[in-house]
Amino acid sequence: MARSTPAKKALRSLTWLLIIIAAIAALNGAATILHKATNSTTGWWSDASFVPQLALDLQGGTQITLQAQLQSGKTVSSDQLNQAVTIIRQRIDAGGVSEAEINTQGKNNIVVSIPGKPDAATLKRIESAARLTFRPVLYTGASTNTAVGKDKAGKVTSSPTPYSPPATVPNTYTAKPTNGSDLSYISQALADTYTKYNCDAPNDVSNSSDSKPLVTCSTDGTAKYILGPVEVQGSTISDATSGIATNSQGNSTGQYAVNITFNGTGSKDFEAVTSRLVSLTAPRNEFAIVLDGDVITAPTTNSAITDGKAQITGSFDAVSSKTLADQLKFGALPISFTVQSNEVISATLGSTSLLAGLIAGLIGLILVVIYSIIQYRALAFVTILSLAISGAITYLTIDFLSWHDGYRLSLAGVAGLIVAIGITADSFIVYFERIRDELRDGRILESAVEAGWTRAIRTILASDSVNFLAAATLYILAIGSVKGFALTLLLTTLIDVVVVALFTHPMLRLLARTRFFGGGHKFSGLDPDALGAVYRGRAQFREPVVAGRKRAGGKEAVKRQTIAERRAAEAAAAKNGGLPPADSTTSTDTTAGTGESRTDSKPGKDA
């Protein structure tokens, strides 16, 4: 005999659930195997493990003390320190490191505590002032430059253009400069500085005023520049992203790039400068991008850029391009810092607190199981299996976020998982009680499962939506360990819906077809007699309880009488002097589509 449609749907849902679990487990397993086999620190699997990483309070980590560097006689304001704390926190979070602690110490220091051992890129995010400026090139000793312009479609293109610099610095000038590209900026003193400047051991000229020219080198030390004054500030950048660059046909070049978008002020300044530079000859048509005093690239201006969108290309890889984009996106520090100390710190709470949290969760789980067994008999095993599957998916998801996105499990996160046990159990209880309500109203189990699901899913989704919104709001607004609590609560709320829809409901669909549950065994938790059902067979109801007579179902049956049953009982009692007939069964028939009902009393056996 072919399976019914509900049974087919149930098997389909269980299959999808199995696929989801297998996919997450396979992804974690493959990444972990690759990590152990290659021991790579750069691949997407570089931090993969079967065990989630722990946060600062449970594992310990690295504490970095940054000291503000100021000119003599100047002091750091509290606003500057607080602004620096905000920017450093944004940089760390952008790198995927969560649960970091960043605080001010005294009047000049910032203390950054990070779980585990941070990599070089993370340290660079923390320490770098990342002051970005744009200066026109007056002279350079570079042999080639990168030309950056736009094609007819408006996309940024890049190609190498040869350039042969003169053997010596141009003759110095004494006239007053008229714009940033004017060679009159090159004085004899500046020319001498350029000649003596050693890129391998550079002089300290990074503190040159924005309104004055600058002698510096490229970040790799292969090119030396004389640059004009700053004409576009890095603070006018509104967004910065990294990724693979594309050519004019939209095809990938295989080269990493950093894409910059300027705000209104920056767009106007950038347009004015590029409009001037496009008419000049090399190297004065180059616009150097200077980061912390070094030239990271000096693209040639092929056309005026009027939309405020530019692209930096060079010797970037995935890590370095993302690091630069994050530094530019989250702004420059208001003051520069030096690393005063870098030391390993122990866990603030440790394994004892983690064990205590896990024991608390286990106790809560045991109490839920005991309650389910007492309340739902054999049906409790569906609750236990649902909780087990929910726990497995949660663990695999947290493990994936741990190595892929840098999530760290803190004690607050463990607390969120414990709270989730109650949220998940509540969904099961709502569904089970809806089914039992349908059984009390006289439905057979298969019909009660479907009708109960229709009623229960609305309640479950409403409840989980409230939990989801609360957790999402907390995650967005909170910082530190509270964010970890919000994230685990957010994840478990979503997983609760998945498990109820793809496991709990399908399992009950299948169990309803078995003799033990479908037949209403007294230990099934779905026995109609024990629940006080008032329905027996098609349109046949038990006789309601009236004065002097106690029928099966007891007080529960009285509470759940329909209006038709109550009226039939009253009419029968009136005819019999206040007592119901000795043997009668009340029958109610509702005429389909009319809303009319008919009640009569027929002799027969008790239902």
Residue 202's pLDDT is 59
- Domains for the chain: give ranges and CATH numbers: 5-35+350-518 (1.20.1640.10), 61-123 (3.30.70.3400), 132-332 (3.30.1360.200), 534-603 (no CATH)
Torsion angle of C-alpha atoms 563, 567, 570, 575, degrees rounded to 10: -160
Task: List, for residues 100-142, the tens digit of each pLDDT value.
Answer: 788 888 888 888 888 877 777 677 767 666 677 899 999 987 5
Interior/surface letters 105-123, b for 16+ CB within 10 angstroms, e for the rest? eeebbbbbbbbbebbeebb
Provide DSSP, 508-534. HHHHTTSHHHHTT-TTTT--HHHHT--
Is 550 strand, coil or helix? Answer: coil
The pTM is what?
Answer: 0.58
CA gap 551, 287 in Å, rounded: 95
Taking the CB of residue 356, how many other CB atoms lie within 10 A of it?
13
Sequence-distant (6+) residues with CB within 8 A of 286 are: 136, 137, 140, 145, 277, 298, 299, 300, 301
**Neighbour-count burial for 183-195, b at 16+ CB within 10 Å, e otherwise:** bebbeeebbebbe
| Residue 227 CB coordination number (10 Å) | 27
pLDDT recorded at residue 52 = 86
* Residues of the chain predicted below pLDDT 70: 1-4, 40-44, 70-74, 94-99, 121, 125, 127-130, 142-174, 201-208, 314, 327, 330-334, 348-351, 480, 532-565, 576-607
CB 475 within 8 A of CB 487: yes
Rounded Cα gap, residues 278 and 268, in angstroms: 16
If we measure between CA atoms, which residue out of 386, 240, 222 comes closest to residue 295? 222
**pLDDT (tens digit, 9 = 90+) per residue, 469-500?**
999 998 888 776 788 888 899 999 999 999 99
How far apart CA 289 and CA 270 sit, in angstroms, is: 12
pLDDT score for 330: 67
Dihedral over alpha carbons 158, 160, 161, 163 (to 10 degrees): 130
Sort strands 584-590 and 336-345 into parallel, antiparallel or unpaired.
unpaired
Number of neighbouring beta carbons within 10 Å of residue 24? 17
